[in-house]
Amino acid sequence: MQPDINLALKKSSLITPFFVTSGNSREISLKLLPEARAFSVDKALKAAELLQTAGLSSIALFEYGAEKDSTGSMAFNASSAVTRTASLLRREFPGLFIISDLCFCQYTSHGECGVLNGTAVDNDESLKLAGRLAIQYCEAGVHALMPSGMLDGAAHYIRSLLNDRGYTDVSIFNQTAKFASSLFGPFRRAAQSHETQPCKSSYQIGIGCRAQAMKQIEIDQCSGADVALIKPAIFNLDIISSASESFELPLAAFCTSGEHALYFANGCDDEALRSFIFALERVMRAGAGSIFTYAAPYIARYLQ
Ligand SMILES: [Zn+2]
């Protein structure tokens, strides 16, 4: 019997999270994320070239080891690793699709995704700061922004701001349905983002809140988001499947650091890679159009 669905896991479906850091000639192995590395801006060029040679054409920039304070002010440093790398890669690799993470948890001393009012994230104040950072990244040349702090109204606010400033062609990949999970742990530790007063569970979605996830995607569809991200990926096949049947909005799934670690704790050998591809094909079958995965450089050699 012929399959009635094309699994379509291709290199072009994969987006590679790409860690950048300050300094020169630095290439740091992120022990908690097997096979992942952070690059200083000068080294990022060569690393990006290798990704393109492997047939990968989309990356998502994250900062590693940034200086931190209570408001995440170092994000606004025009010579931050993310800003400089985005600018350099845009100039040197016209065929590379560049997404920048749009959040503050890599820059805040408390590890939360925005500025605090007491012990809670101040949504509206954090949105204003995210807007300012969005413009900085647009000026650097990114093709897409990825708000990942689950701020209420993020897609609408950022879309309106970008349109007002003439960045109508910059896409928004909103982390729309981000479920609170310990599966984010290896990334947070790798990015040296430590919550001192954990409150992420107050703005990320609870495991049982399926209706809330669907509502968030519906809101994004009406708010100018170009892609809705669901995260974790492999553990949310039911949400991906329901969303793909209910909405026209393209979906992406983000394989968290914890999912990555489950498969690759003992390295990226053939068996681990094939098992992981098996899982990613199910994520595609559920309805994701693209997948963020730290393993993209390693699985690319198995794909068209
Ligand atoms: Zn964040």
pLDDT, average across residues 10-22: 96
Inter-residue contact 114 to 106 (CB < 8 Å): no
Q: Is 270 exposed, middle or buried (0-12, 13-18, 19+ CB in 10 A)?
A: exposed
Question: In the prediction, which pLDDT does 200 show?
Answer: 61
Cα-to-chain-centroid distance, residue 56 = 16
Selected residue with higher pLDDT from 31 and 40? 40
Q: Helical H runs in the chain? A: 41-53, 81-92, 123-140, 154-164, 185-190, 210-221, 237-246, 257-264, 270-286, 296-299
165: burial class by Cβ within 10 Å (0-12, 13-18, 19+)?
middle
pLDDT of residue 14: 97
Percent of the chain residues past pLDDT 90, beyond the cut: 78
Ligand 1 (single-atom ion) residues, CB below 5 Å = 103, 105, 113, 149
Q: Which of 31-35, 59-63, 159-163, 190-194 has the lowest mean pLDDT?
A: 190-194
Mean pLDDT of 153-159: 97
Query: What's the rounded Cα separation, in Å, for the pair 200 and 205?
Result: 9
How close is the Cα of 108 to the center of ligand 1, in Å?
9
Q: How high is the pLDDT of residue 234? A: 97
Mean per-residue pLDDT of the chain:
92
Average pLDDT over residues 296-301: 92
pLDDT digit string, tens, across residues 90-132: 999 999 999 999 999 999 999 899 999 998 999 999 999 999 9
Spacing, Cα 3 to ligand 1 middle (Å): 39
The pLDDT value recorded for residue 199 is 55
**How far is ligand 1, taken at its centre, from the CA of residue 18, in Å?**
16
Report CA torsion sign: 227, 203, 122, 133. Answer: negative
CA 1–ligand 1 middle distance (angstroms): 45
Active-site choice (11, 43, 200, 231): 231
| Ligand 1 geometric centre to CA of 103 (Å) | 5
The pTM of this model reads 0.93
Say how many Å lie between the CA of residue 4 and the centre of ligand 1: 38
Q: Is the pLDDT of residue 201 over 60?
A: no
The band of 5, judged by pLDDT with boundaries at 50, 70 and 90, is low
- Helix H or strand E encompassing 97: strand 97-102
Which domains are present in the chain?
11-302 (3.20.20.70)
* Interacting residues of 212 by C-beta distance below 8 A, sequence separation 6+: 205, 206
Cα 232 to averaged position of ligand 1 atoms, centre (Å): 14
Q: Tell me, what's the pLDDT at 154?
A: 96
Is residue 4 scored above 80 in pLDDT?
Answer: no
Q: How many C-beta atoms surround the C-beta of residue 265 within 10 A?
A: 9
Task: Report whether pLDDT(249) > 80.
Answer: yes
Residue 6 C-alpha to ligand 1 middle, in angstroms?
34
178 has catalytic annotation: yes
d(CA 56, CA 288): 18
Q: How confident is the model at residue 27 (pLDDT cuts 50, 70, 90)?
A: very high
And the tokens for 287? 């309805």
CA of 175 to the centre of ligand 1 (A): 10
Dihedral of CA 150/108/88/161: which sign?
Answer: positive
Task: Report pLDDT digits (tens) over 29-39.
Answer: 987 787 889 99
Contact in structure between 178 and 229 (CB atoms under 8 Å): yes
Separation of CA 81 and ligand 1 centre (Å): 17
In the set 43, 68, 178, 200, the catalytic residue is 178
Would you say residue 202 has pLDDT above 70? no
Q: What is the distance between the alpha carbons of residues 303 and 254, in angstroms, rounded to a whole number? A: 19
pLDDT higher than threshold 70 for residue 24: yes
